Amino acid sequence: MKLWPYLLFWCCGTPFFATAQAVRPPVSTASTQSVQPHPIPASTQPIRATLTPAPATVLTIFNDSILRNYAGITLDWQLFVNGEPRQKGAVPGLLLLPGRARSLRLPLKPPAAGDEAWLRLDFHGSSGLSRPTSGSRPALATRFLPWQAWNADIRVPVAGELSFTDSNNIFTITSPTLHVSFDKETGWMRELIADNYTLVTDTNCLRLNLPSFPHLQLFSTSTGSRMVIVRTEYTLPDQSWLLHLSYTFNSAGTLLVEETLEKDTTRADSLIHPLARLSMNLTLPRGIDSISWYGLTTVTILANPTPTGTGGAATNRTPTDADTIPTIHRRPLAAASAATAVRWLSARDHDGNGIQLMADSALPDTRIADPDNSILRIDEHDGTAPTQMRAVHRLAFKLTPLSITPRPAPTHPAPTRSVQPHPAPTKIPPHR
């Protein structure tokens, strides 16, 4: 009698039945639900997405998992343009097969040229896919997709008639709402009053941050009935650099500042000296107490973040996708030191008057640079590491007066050459 079939059954049959029984789905009872494994956290869900650049509206969703089948997914989407919500909608009943992609065409309205657009995606599923939170549907994943990059037009628009005078080494530009004066011996702006609001009070209010004092070589102007451009050329002998500055004005007081710092190739000893970024200091008008900007905030990242609820600081955390998405921030003036990747920035007083700064590309760092909260430091966007040395530095931004409350019109005496480097305080209209 052959015994090997019985021995095979004795050795292999019991493990086979045990294995088959182990993979049976659990019975849906109250006692077994408490021991089910915790679902995969949302941050590790293998759902990703891509969006074609504007004006195309094709969204492609990928399920990178080779085992998990996502059925009954609901996609909530919201479009943000320049930090403001513009559109939102939902796509229910999505099926994401393992290792497959699915394309959708969303009814997105293309933003205007130069505006920045981001798309937020929130994927939701049934309770079998993720543990539901109190009062909300279960969230599988949240994704932020860029649709159109920031590329603002910072050209100065034409607005009204301008007049100008040149006397006693003072060049003056005037209109019914503007008064600007330059010191032709130094090249720096002496005064800027737009719509009866004083923005610049002396030659130190709008200055470059440089390692040595520049020497003026040329002061020139291009004048027209509706636009005036002031150009200055400097040398920095200690660093073998050439500095080019230009100021473009319209009659409403809008100002475009363009600065270029380059290596002086005419000198045999010319070298590329270490300069992280070209920056300019702007002294804010008196009375400024609040600031708002469209961009990011500085996030402090520690090696061991303090868990939530243990008394740690708000910035003591790991970064998330939202930390890289530009939004609109409104803070007291002292909080401006957190501004980074700035697209535009506005500083106002309690009456709503102030000044707005706008860049054609995101400025990496625009912050309050002094303890008295009076100097705004504006850094160039170079697209490289801060420590990388370059032969050319460029900084360009537009300043626009923000005047809400009418102010009494100041009186402007005929420009005279004074021994003092700055105008007397009595010539500056009082601030509210």
pLDDT in tens, 399-416: 998 876 554 444 444 444
Cα–Cα distance measured from residue 129 to residue 44, given in angstroms and rounded to the nearest whole number: 13
In this structure, is the dihedral angle defined by the CA atoms of residues 345, 349, 352 and 355, taken in order, positive or negative?
A: negative
Q: Chain-centre distance of CA 349, in angstroms?
A: 22
- For residue 315, what pLDDT is reported? 39
- For residue 272, what pLDDT is reported? 58
Does residue 202 have a pLDDT over 70? yes
Q: Nearest to residue 354, comparing CAs of 289, 402, 398?
A: 402
pLDDT in tens, 243-276: 999 999 999 889 999 998 888 877 766 565 656 6
The CATH code of domain 42-148 reads 2.60.40.10
What DSSP character marks residue 185?
Answer: T
Q: What CATH architecture is 163-304+324-427?
A: Distorted Sandwich (2.70)
Cα–Cα distance measured from residue 394 to residue 258, given in angstroms and rounded to the nearest whole number: 8
Burial class (CB in 10 A: 0-12, 13-18, 19+), 318: exposed
Q: Nearest to residue 242, comparing CAs of 214, 220, 276?
A: 214
Does residue 280 have a pLDDT over 70? yes
Domain boundaries, the chain: 42-148, 163-304+324-427
Q: Point out the least confidently predicted range of 20-24, 194-198, 383-387.
A: 20-24
Give the global pTM. Answer: 0.71
Number of CB atoms found within 10 A of residue 74's CB: 17
Tokens in use for 148? Answer: 């159109």
Coil, helix or strand at residue 387: coil
Helix, strand, coil distribution of the chain in percent, nearest 5: 10, 45, 50
Q: Which helix (DSSP H) or strand (DSSP E) does residue 342 occupy? A: strand 339-348
Q: Which helix (DSSP H) or strand (DSSP E) does residue 235 occupy? A: strand 228-236
Coil, helix or strand at residue 51: strand
The confidence band for 138, taking pLDDT boundaries of 50, 70 and 90, is low
Tokens in use for 388? Answer: 């990388």
